[in-house]
Amino acid sequence: MLSRQKLLLHPAAKVTLFMVCLLPFAWLVYRAFSNQLGANPAEALIRATGDWTLRFLCIVLVVTPLRVISSTPALARFRRMLGLFVYFYVVVHLLSYSWFDMGFDVPDIAKDIAKRPFILVGFSAFVLLTPLAATSFNAAIKAMGVKRWQMLHKLVYGIAGLGLLHFFWMRAGKNNFAEVSVYAAIIAVLLGWRVRQYFSKKSLQPRNNGRSQLLN
């Protein structure tokens, strides 16, 4: 375990992860410039960037359970970077839709968001994700205080739910629910683990209080 910890704490670990996280974006750019996105490149880019947003969101949510279960505290140092990559891919997703689908016509984009529920849900997830990305820095944690910062970042589970709903509606037209079910199962398991941890800690509190009173 010590060697694993040393490996994760190595300065090169973050750089390596950063490069790995950029690979999907680099692959999409390559496919776009080499005309490998199929008959409808705009739709392919919008769907692919949306898919990667949800995938990275699942990866972020799995960091804490994996850290606890594997007793590898060093994993925590990657969570913030992974969270910012969620935001990076959602911004690219939104830009792809705004540019290739709507031609950056802001009034039309606003009408489309209001008219189509699945876009409204996706845009709501983006709006909620923005303050999380904006406060993913030490200065923000210090300014807000740890408790308020933690409360704000619990929004990630609501964002995951909105992301799933957006993804579901996008796939509904093609009756393709297999991939949605996989993401839903992953997020449900991770949320279930969180709930279980919460109640486990709550059940231990009276015991810990009792012990402290006896010690006093």
Q: Which two tokens stand for residue 148?
A: 């308020």
Predicted pLDDT at 173: 63
**Interacting residues of 7 by C-beta distance below 8 A, sequence separation 6+:** 13
Alpha carbons 61 and 187: distance in angstroms, whole number: 8
Predicted pLDDT at 147: 92
Considering Cα of 105, then 110, then 113, then 115, what sign does the dihedral take? negative
Considering Cα of 102, then 104, then 105, then 106, what sign does the dihedral take? positive
Domain ranges of the chain: 2-210
Predicted pLDDT at 135: 95
Single-letter code of the amino acid located at 151: M
Predicted pLDDT at 215: 35
Backbone angle region of 176, left / alpha / beta, with phi > 0 → left and psi within -120 to 50 → alpha: beta
- Three-state DSSP class for residue 71: coil
Predicted pLDDT at 212: 43
DSSP E strand stretches across 38-171:
none
Predicted pLDDT at 203: 78
Alpha carbons 171 and 174: distance in angstroms, whole number: 6
User: Model pTM?
Assistant: 0.90
Cα distances (angstroms) measured from residue 78 to each of 72, 98, 112, 158? 12, 30, 36, 21
Written as tens digits, the pLDDT of the chain (216 aa) is 557 778 888 889 999 999 999 999 999 999 999 999 999 999 999 999 999 999 999 999 999 999 999 989 999 999 999 999 999 999 999 999 999 999 999 999 999 999 999 999 999 999 999 999 999 998 999 999 999 999 999 999 999 999 999 998 887 766 667 888 899 999 999 999 988 988 888 777 665 554 544 333
Q: Which two tokens stand for residue 64?
A: 């804490």
Predicted pLDDT at 7: 86
